[in-house]
Structure 1
Amino acid sequence: MKPFTTFAMVLLGLISLLQLVRFLQAWDVVVNGVSIPVWSSALACVITGVTAVMLWRETRR
Structure 2
Amino acid sequence: MNSQTMGLRVAGFVFGVMSLAQLARLLIRPEVVVAAHLIPLWPSVLAFLLLIGLSLWLLNLARPRS
The separation in 1 between residues aligned to 2:47 and 2:55, in whole angstroms, is: 12
Q: Give the aligned partner of residue 56 of structure 2.
A: 53
> Can you give the 5+ residue segments of structure 1 that lack an aligned partner in the other structure?
none
Q: State the Cα distance separating 1:32 from its structure 2 match.
A: 3.4
Greater radius of gyration (CA): 2
- Give percent identity, aligned residues only: 34
Normalising by structure 1, what TM-score?
0.82
- The aligned length equals 61
> Can you give the 5+ residue segments of structure 2 that lack an aligned partner in the other structure?
none
Normalising by structure 2, what TM-score?
0.77
Give the root-mean-square deviation of aligned CA atoms.
Answer: 1.6
